[in-house]
Structure 1
Amino acid sequence: MIKFGLIGRNISYSFSRNYFREKFSRESIAATYENFDLQSLDEFPEVLRNNRELKGLNVTIPYKEEIMPFLDLIDPVAKEIGAVNTIQIDPEGKLTGYNTDHFGFKKALQQYLRSQHQKALILGTGGASKAVAYALSSLGITFTYVSRAGGEERLTYEQLDERVLKEHQLIINCTPLGTFPNTSEYPQLPVQLLTPAHLIFDLIYNPPVTKLMELAKLQGATVVNGQKMLEFQAEKAWEIWNRS
């Protein structure tokens, strides 16, 4: 029986395992899906040695960037993004890295976009934020990163004043702040400055309504979680794994 799996750290909560196990059961697919919870990517070669039946892997936090040197080939889009979340393993054991996050995010976002969503703030600078940036660029939406430290062409949370929030009416949370079990946390966005014109897309899916989403909704903003993005990127990964 062929096997698929997820590489990450502290991933017992994982969306992917439940999603694919349910898919395999529903569609009568003879395959299994397993979590490979690694404290370090030094353990990755051992995973491959001990699981010769692996045909594909998903990659999640914190390894979307670190995994790239372990791969034999990297798809040009994933290379441009600088992060990999899907690995195809061919019969000879060759590993090819792809990024399906940008596809999932773009498809999940598009139905909510309105004329005022021309400029975006991306909260966080990790692997997921790079896929989001790629998707926004493909939609013609300009963006600015926000991080605690700030830096060149980045804002700090302290710089998010009324002028910045009025100019950027699309905000994407790519940080893990607010993920279960730490559900009271949220990025230090000045939520009191949000308006009904704002769209807040939080990549977190557990809980379904994060603290950030809850506070934004009180201001009349439109809020979206990461569930559909994950479903779309997972189906794209499945398509990649099944290419001949």
Structure 2
Amino acid sequence: MKKYALIGENITYSFSHIVHQEIARLADIKLRYDILSVAPKAFVGAVNRLKQGYDGFNITKPYKLDILPFLSQNHSKTQAVNTVKVLGGELIGYNTDGLGFMRSLEYNNIDIDGDCLILGAGGAARTLAYELDKVCNVFIYNRTKQKVFDIINDLKLKNTCWTDLKSLKPKVIINCTTLGLNDEMCLPDEANLQNTQVFYDTIYNPPLTPMLKLAQKLGKTAVNGMGMLFFQALEAQKIWNNINLNQEQISEALENICDKVK
């Protein structure tokens, strides 16, 4: 039986094992998927164990850039890595977050036809900015400006800039911070929601963060990160096991996953 895992810090809340097992069930393959929550000082040892005993693994906060020195190859266009294939004792990096995000927009019938505000400047923000920069104006709000400038310069983004939120009236707001995991509001007080139609939170547990509750109260579109989690996992399984699911299977998988995590 093939073995996979998710590695991150303080990730006992993760539903990744449920998602990957559901994808495997529909593809009629058997696999094991572990959740490895490790502190930074234990990261190197955990990567070595994964390299020796697993067929591949996913990476989440805060290690999407920390994994880079351990890779023999990196196919990620944004440097940040969320998927690793173990092949012949070597680690090969990929990023499926961007495609997972874009497919989740399509699945939820969301068209990007206005300015997008991204909250945060971590690995997820980096990848989403890269994808959105191709189709709209992107504004990133983060307390540390330099992290935003690093994203723009590293990825050579042409339609992305840092914002202090003054005069900005975004059509779409995307939370890429961890604020919301413990019922915190991620929206800064100075955010202008006058034109905002879509509130997207990359957090999926809890399914309704304070930002999404506000969106529902305002009668706007509220989307959590479950779709992104599913589609990036499906892309990872395509890399690992050449798995493809049809539209009917995708709908069945998402329905079953949502039932299991209620």
- Determine if contact 2:50/2:56 at 8 Å carries over to the other structure: no
Unpaired runs of at least 5, structure 1: none
Q: What is the CA-CA distance between 1:199 and the residue it aligns to? A: 1.4
Partner amino acid, structure 1, of 2:201: D
- Deviations, residues 195-231 of structure 1 (Å, cap 9, x unaligned): 4652111111111111011113323332211111111
* Secondary structure of 1:187's aligned partner: coil
Percentage of matched positions with identical amino acids:
37
* Secondary structure of 2:35's aligned partner: strand
**Which whole-Å CA distance do the structure 2 matches of 1:209 and 1:103 have between them?**
23
Answering whether residue 139 of structure 2 is matched by residue 144 of structure 1, we say yes
Q: What is the CA-CA distance between 1:5 and the residue it aligns to? A: 0.8
Pairing partner for 1:160 from 144, 157, 165: 165
* Secondary structure of 1:102's aligned partner: helix
Answering whether residue 125 of structure 2 is matched by residue 129 of structure 1, we say yes
Matches within 5 A, 1:60-209: 60-75=60-75, 78=76, 80-90=77-87, 92-110=88-106, 111-113=109-111, 115=113, 117=114, 119-138=115-134, 140-151=135-146, 153-155=161-163, 159-161=164-166, 163-165=167-169, 168-179=170-181, 182-190=182-190, 193-195=192-194, 197-209=196-208
**Counterpart residue number, 1:232:** 231
Q: CA RMSD in A?
A: 2.2
**Which whole-Å CA distance do the structure 1 matches of 2:3 and 2:228 have between them?**
23
Partner amino acid, structure 2, of 1:144: F
Q: What is the CA-CA distance between 1:185 and the residue it aligns to? A: 3.4
TM-score, with length taken from structure 1: 0.84
Q: How many residues align?
A: 226
- Determine if contact 1:196/1:220 at 8 Å carries over to the other structure: no
- Deviations, residues 119-160 of structure 1 (Å, cap 9, x unaligned): 21110000000110111123x2121110123355422xxx32
Between 32-41 and 205-214, report the one with greater CA deviation.
32-41
Q: What is the CA-CA distance between 1:94 and the residue it aligns to? A: 1.5
- Determine if contact 2:51/2:90 at 8 Å carries over to the other structure: no
- Determine if contact 1:196/1:222 at 8 Å carries over to the other structure: no
Matches within 5 A, 1:44-59: 44-48=46-50, 51=53, 54-59=54-59
- Determine if contact 1:123/1:147 at 8 Å carries over to the other structure: yes
* Secondary structure of 1:105's aligned partner: helix
* Secondary structure of 2:55's aligned partner: strand
**Counterpart residue number, 1:213:** 212
* Structure 1 residues 59 and 186: CA distance shift in structure 2, 3 A: same
**Which whole-Å CA distance do the structure 2 matches of 1:28 and 1:216 have between them?**
38
- Deviations, residues 176-209 of structure 1 (Å, cap 9, x unaligned): 1011xx1143232546x42465211111111111
* Secondary structure of 2:228's aligned partner: helix
Partner amino acid, structure 2, of 1:160: L
- Deviations, residues 20-55 of structure 1 (Å, cap 9, x unaligned): 23343455422211122221222234313652xx11
* Structure 1 residues 194 and 173: CA distance shift in structure 2, 3 A: same
Answering whether residue 241 of structure 2 is matched by residue 242 of structure 1, we say yes
* Secondary structure of 1:44's aligned partner: helix
**Which whole-Å CA distance do the structure 1 matches of 2:230 and 2:62 have between them?**
20
**Which whole-Å CA distance do the structure 1 matches of 2:3 and 2:95 have between them?**
20
